[in-house]
Amino acid sequence: MHVLLCEDDDLIASGIAAGLTAQGMTVDRVATAGAAQAMLQAATFDVMVLDLGLPDEDGLKLLQRLRQQGESLPVLVLTARDAVTDRVDGLQAGADDYLLKPFDLRELAARLHTLLRRAAGRAVNVIEHGPLSYDPSSRETCLGGVPVDLSRREQALLQALLHNRGRVLSSEQLKDSVYGFGDEVESNALNVHIHHLRRKLGNGIVETVRGLGYRLGPAQLPEVEQP
Amino acid sequence: MSLRVRLTLILGAAFVVIWALAAAWMLRDLRHQMMFSLDQRLVASARMVAGLIDQMPQPLVARGEGAKLSADQLSVPDGMACQVSSLRGEIIARNHTKDHALDDDRSGFRDQTIDGARWRTFTYYRGDFRITTADRHQEREALNRSILLAASAPVLVALLGSLGLLWLGIGKGLAPLNRMRDALRRRSPDALEPLQVRGLPSELQPLQDTQNQLFQRIAQTIERERRLTDDAAHELRTPLTAIKTHLQVARMTEGAAREQALEHAEQGADRMHRTLEQLLLLARVEGSLSFEDGVQCSAEQVARQAIQDTGVGQRIDLQLAPGTAQVYLGMPAPLAVTALRNLLDNALRHTRGSEPVELAVRMDEGRVAFTVRDHGPGIAEQDLEHLTERFWRSGQSGSCGLGLAIVQAIVQRCAGSLRFDSRSDGLRVLLQVPLRTQSV
**pLDDT tens, residue by residue, B177-224:** 888 899 889 988 888 888 888 888 898 899 999 999 999 999 988 888
The better pLDDT of the pair B88, A116 is held by: A116
| Tens digit of each residue's pLDDT (9 = 90 or more) over B256-279 | 989 999 999 999 999 899 888 888
Task: Determine the Cα–Cα distance for residues B226 and B208; give it in Å rounded to an integer.
Answer: 26
Q: Cβ separation of A81 and B226 shorter than 8 Å?
A: no
pLDDT in tens, B344-378: 988 888 887 778 899 999 988 888 999 999 888 88
Q: What is the mean pLDDT of residues B382-408?
A: 78
Please report the pLDDT score of residue B157 as a whole number.
Answer: 92
pLDDT band at B243 (very low <50, low <70, confident <90, very high): very high
pLDDT of residue A27: 92
Q: Burial, B392: exposed, middle or buried (Cβ in 10 Å; 0-12, 13-18, 19+)?
A: middle
> What's the pTM value of the predicted model, to 2 decimals?
0.61
The confidence score (pLDDT) of residue B401 equals 79
Contact at CB, A12 and B238, closer than 8 angstroms: yes
Interface ipTM > 0.90: no
| Whole-angstrom distance, CA of residue A103 vs CA of residue A110 | 12
> Above 70 in pLDDT, residue A92?
yes
pLDDT band at B12 (very low <50, low <70, confident <90, very high): very high
Question: What is the spatial distance between Cα B25 and Cα B277, in angstroms, rounded to a whole number?
Answer: 88
Pair type for strands B129-136 and B316-320: unpaired
pLDDT at B224: 83
- C-alpha distance from B428 to closest chain A C-alpha (Å): 25
Reported confidence tier of residue A227, pLDDT bands at 50, 70, 90 = very low
Q: What is the pLDDT of residue B405?
A: 87
Q: Among residues of chain B, what percentage have pLDDT more than 90?
A: 22
pLDDT for residue B439: 44
CB contact under 8 A, A22 and B249: yes
Q: Between A30 and B284, where is the model more confident?
A: A30
Q: Judge whether B233 is closer than 8 Å to chain A, CB to CB.
A: yes
Which pLDDT does position B395 carry in this prediction? 61
The per-residue pLDDT for B322 is 85
Mean pLDDT of B304-315: 87
C-alpha to C-alpha distances, B70 to B14, B49, B54, B80, B363, nearest whole angstrom: 57, 12, 16, 13, 131
The per-residue pLDDT for B75 is: 65
Task: For residue A12, give every residue at least 6 positions away whose Cβ sits within 8 Å of its Cβ, in sequence order, or none.
Answer: A51, A101, B238, B241, B242, B245
Binary contact (A19, B245; C-beta < 8 A): yes
What average pLDDT is seen over chain B? 84
Provide, as residue numbers in chain A, all residues whose Cβ is less than 8 Å from the Cβ of B243: 102
Contact flag A11-B240 (C-beta cutoff 8 Å): no
Say yes or no for a CB contact (<8 Å) between A9 and B238: yes
- HSE on the CB side for B214, CA within 13 Å? 8
**Residue A15 binned pLDDT confidence (cut-offs 50, 70, 90):** very high
For residue B242, is pLDDT > 90? yes
Residue A226 has pLDDT above 50, yes or no: no
Q: Which residues of A touch B252 (CB under 8 A)?
A: 19, 22-23, 105
Span of A58-62, A186-190, B207-211 with lowest mean pLDDT: A186-190
- Write out pLDDT tens, residues B22-63: 989 988 998 899 999 999 998 998 888 888 877 776 555 545
Q: How far is CA A220 from CA A196, A197, A224, B159, in A?
A: 15, 12, 7, 109
- Nearest residue on chain B to A52, alpha-carbon basis: B234
Q: Chain A residues within 8 A (CB-CB) of chain B?
A: 8-9, 11-12, 14-16, 18-19, 22-23, 53, 55, 80-83, 100-106
C-beta atoms of B396 and A23 within 8 A: no
User: What is the distance in angstroms between the Cα of B326 and the nearest Cα belonging to chain A?
Assistant: 46
User: Residue A15 and residue B271: Cβ atoms within 8 Å?
Assistant: no
Contacts of B295 (CB under 8 A, 6+ apart): B333
